[in-house]
Amino acid sequence: MIQFRNLRLARGVKTLIEGASLQIHPGWKVGLTGANGCGKSSLFGLLRGELHQDSGDLEIPPSWVTAHVAQETPALACPALDYALDGDAELRRIEAALEAAEAAHQGEEIGHLHGRLQEIGGYAARARAAALLDGLGFTAADLERPVSDFSGGWRMRLNLAQALMCRSDLLLLDEPTNHLDLDAVIWLEQWLGDYRGTLILISHDRDFLDAVVNQIAHIENQQLTLYTGGYSNFERQRAERLSQQQSMFEKQQRERAHLQKYVDRFRAQATKARQAQSRIKALERMENIAAAHIDNPFSFSFRECGAAPDPLLQLEDAAAGYVDKPILSGMRLTIRPGERIGLLGRNGAGKSTLIKLLAGSIKPTAGVRQEGKGLALGYFAQHALESLRPEESALQHMLRLDPQTREQDLRNYLGGFDFHGDMATAPCEPFSGGEKSRLALALLIWKKPNLLLLDEPTNHLDLEMRHALTLALQDYEGGMVIVSHDRALLRATCDRFLLVDDGRLTPFDGDLDDYKSWLAQRRAADAVANQCPDKAADKATRKADREQAAADRQARLVARRPLLKELEQLDKKLAPWTAEKARLDERLADPDLYTGPEAGEVPKLIKRQGELTDKIDEAELRWLELHEALEAIPAD
């Protein structure tokens, strides 16, 4: 296991982690969270052996193989499949040794190497690598393309495939979903669920964290604290801890004020001097409890966009792509004020092409794109970052956009995006990807658009900024079309979904869980089609399928009954438990409880609160499992 013992980690004069003592056991999947600059990436560097702790101990089993995603990808001429296979270093060593042994006609060595190749699954390695690349969105034709042919985002996917190909004991992933679309994120989520090694994951995607990890290691105030459960459980536990900390802080402040009042009153009186001195010492001995606080540095909202045309934008029998080979065709879409539309579709289906068509970046190859009079478009895509002027500051960008507004008003506005002081006036060239994304969003929002077109707006944004953007979009009154792999953002901001598939744009009747099932069905159908391309033409098989479907429907009805019964019983239990816990939470949040006559009851109440929390968590988990099981067994 990984063991931290009173570990201190610093970069220069800045202490990142102080006194960390915890264990990470084999097979654990841990999410590493904390504010930007708190030390997450430095901790990864420490785990990889690239940095050293300033004091304390870090123990990792010396036999463990560690895998991580490289941040740079040279423009190599080797095929993508071979690049992914390079992630299995032992496989490559054996292949090189086999080639040398065969050239030297060393029969015994050849036999030994083939035996080892069998042990590590080397004969199936190419198939595994191809499956990884397929899950990450690469087509069969891409497998033999040279690495140098791919763009930066796709090269990062190749680096991820290489890391997953490694048969590692410890896998370190730093924002692995940044360059993925939603179907690749869902595939990676499932792959990591089956990973048997120890995983430490940095991610700003709360749905992804909830689905993958079972522990959260949080860095805050130079402390590394381990929480049990996914990200949602961590948020709840942290909120409860901070609530208790705030109650203790307020109680201590009252005690300190009482002691200080006595000292101030009687310090100069000879008869009370000894008592005053004892209270001064009591004040000195009192350990300071910090006030609980959760600071989100981001606070902004969309400006009033004024009157908007109805409809905002229309497509009539529109096509996009190439004249001789359209990517999308026959599209009909009307976007009205206040509509919130999420675009779903598999990798390469044409979601970004549709966004570009809506934005007017490309023209339809057929049909009509018609704007409403008074349309004010706000289009965010990755090229928005490239359009920033590297030598100019955030404030200069704002002044160029709106020279009539007072500089202080623009500074106040930029402060909502965490551009304060020197940060607002520094050139944006050295900004991180997240800082550039925040600036691009700030510029877009200032323009008061009445139609937002957002293509992966959360790339590089941390959890706090994603939360602030979600809140702002919820209050936004204009129309919106969004493509995103962040399911929490899509759930919170979209009223309906459209599916881009097979060159068509159609309404998607379902939510994101239904889309996950749809993706699984499509993958399964593709696998079957690849294995049996003539099956669809086989009438006898189709007839047997219909008969089997009828039998399956009856079996599903029988299978659903006990699940529904258990679900009903859980609902009856959850209601009184939730009500009792709410009453306990309210009592424990009352500062007077800790100083009043019932103070002795606090340990008992906290224990009962924990018991109820565990019961509710288990019941809610089972409730979700039952619903997932029911969703997997359609009633019709």
Does residue 512 sit in the same domain as residue 380? yes
**Alpha-carbon gap, residue 100 to 109, rounded angstroms:** 10
Q: Does residue 317 form part of some domain?
A: no
pLDDT given at position 331: 94
Q: What pLDDT, on a 0 to 100 scale, did the predictor assign at position 551?
A: 63
Range of the domain at 522: 340-351+376-526
Q: pLDDT confidence of 296, banded at 50, 70, 90?
A: low
Q: Residues of the chain with pLDDT > 70: what percent?
A: 86
Residues 386 and 522 reside in one and the same domain: yes
Task: Look at residues 167, 185, 217 and tell me which one is the last residue of a structural domain.
Answer: 167
Query: How many domains does one find in the chain?
Result: 4
pLDDT band of residue 533 (cuts 50, 70, 90) is very low
Same domain, residue pair 499 and 562? no
pLDDT confidence of 602, banded at 50, 70, 90? confident
CA distances from 198 to 58, 60, 328 (A): 16, 11, 43
What string of H, E and C letters represents the secondary structure of 82-136? HHHHCCCHHHHHHHHHHHHHHHCCCHHHHHHHHHHHHHCCHHHHHHHHHHHHHHC
Encode 309-350 in three state secondary structure.
CCCCEEEEEEEEECCCCEEEEEEEEEECCCCEEEEECCCCCC
Is residue 366 a part of any domain in this protein? no
Shared domain check, 561 and 482:
no
Task: Give residue 216's pLDDT.
Answer: 93
Residue 567's pLDDT is 82
Q: Phi, psi (5° rounding) for residue 430?
A: -80, 5
Which whole number is the average pLDDT over 454-479? 88
Judge if 496 and 592 occupy the same domain: no
Residue 535 lies in a domain: no
Tell whether 521 and 571 lie within a shared domain.
no
Q: Is the pLDDT of residue 288 over 60?
A: no
β-bridge mates for residue 201, sequence order: 31, 173
Nearest to 20 by CA among 171, 241, 174, 219: 219
- The larger pLDDT score, comparing residue 525 to residue 215, is at 215
Q: Does 452 lie in the same domain as 381? A: yes
Q: What's the mean pLDDT when you consider all of the chain?
A: 85
pLDDT at residue 274 is higher than 70: no
- Supply the pLDDT for residue 259: 64
Residue indicated by tokens 């740079």: 72
314: left (phi over 0), alpha (psi -120 to 50) or beta: beta
562 and 521 within one domain: no
Q: Do residue 279 and residue 344 come from a single domain? A: no
Please write the tens of the pLDDT for every residue from 299-337: 778 888 778 898 999 999 999 987 777 899 999 999 999
* Among candidate residues 467, 510, 518, the one with its CA nearest the CA of residue 489: 467
Strand 479-483 and strand 340-344: pairing?
parallel
Task: Fill in the amino acid letter for 5.
Answer: R
Residue 522 lies in a domain: yes
Question: Has residue 548 been placed in a domain?
Answer: no
For residue 292, pLDDT beyond 50? no
Please give the pLDDT value at position 335.
Answer: 95
| DSSP one-letter code for 485 | S
Q: Are 218 and 238 in contact (CB under 8 A)?
A: yes
Chain-centroid distance, C-alpha 159: 19
The CA distance from 505 to 333, in Å, is 8
pLDDT confidence of residue 595? 76
**In angstroms, rounded to a whole number, what is the distance separating the alpha carbons of residues 379 and 482?**
10
Least confident piece of the model among 61-65, 124-128, 159-163, 571-575: 571-575
**pLDDT classification of 605: cutoffs 50, 70, 90:** confident
- Measured N-to-C along each axis, helices 231-266 and 539-588 cross at an angle, to the nearest 10 degrees, of 10
Where are the strands (E) in 559-616, listed by range? Answer: none
Contact 231, 206 (CB under 8 A): yes
Q: Which of 467, 476, 418 is nearest to 449 (CA)?
A: 476
Residue 250 domain-assigned (yes or no): yes
Whether residue 293 has pLDDT greater than 60: no
- C-beta separation of 349 from 500 below 8 A: yes
Among the ranges given (213-217, 407-411, 625-629), the one the predictor scored with the smallest mean pLDDT: 625-629
Q: Are 120 and 128 in contact (CB under 8 A)?
A: no
Q: What percent of the chain has pLDDT over 90?
A: 46
Return the minimum-mean-pLDDT range out of 67-71, 232-236, 473-477, 528-532.
528-532
Confidence of residue 283 (pLDDT cuts 50, 70, 90): low
Q: What local confidence, expressed as pLDDT, does residue 606 receive?
A: 83
Q: DSSP readout, 206-248?
A: HHHHHHH-SEEEEEETTEEEEEES-HHHHHHHHHHHHHHHHHH
Residue 431: pLDDT above 90?
no
Task: Over range 147-151, report the average pLDDT.
Answer: 89
Same domain, 250 and 143: no
Return the pLDDT at 3.
94
**pLDDT (mean) for 356-364:** 92
Taking CA atoms, 353 is separated from 107, 155, 326, 454, 487, in Å, by 57, 21, 11, 12, 21
Same domain, 156 and 245: no
Residue predicted with more confidence, 279 or 218: 218
Of 167, 195, 220, which marks where a domain is finished? 167
Tell whether 590 and 515 lie within a shared domain. Answer: no
Residues in the chain: 636
Any domain includes 396 = yes
Q: Name the domain boundary from 145, 167, 189.
A: 167
Give the number of other CB atoms < 10 A from CB of residue 199: 23
CA–CA distance, 483 with 493 (Å, rounded to integer): 12
Residue 308 in 3-state DSSP?
Answer: coil
pLDDT score for 249: 65
CB 19 within 8 A of CB 7: yes
Write out the DSSP string of 50-82.
SS--SEEEEE--TT--EEE--S------SBHHH
The mean pLDDT value for 618-623 works out to 84
pLDDT > 90? residue 379: yes
**pLDDT, position 275:** 55
Per-residue pLDDT reduced to its tens digit, 7-27: 999 988 889 999 999 999 999
Mean pLDDT over residues 383-398, rounded?
Answer: 88
Give domain status of residue 63, yes or no.
no
**Interstrand relation of 215-220 and 223-228 (parallel, antiparallel or unpaired):** antiparallel
- Residue 427: cis peptide before it, omega within 30 degrees of 0: no
Helix (H, G, I), strand (E, B) or coil at 267: coil
Check pLDDT > 90 for residue 297: no
CATH number (domain holding residue 428)? 3.40.50.300
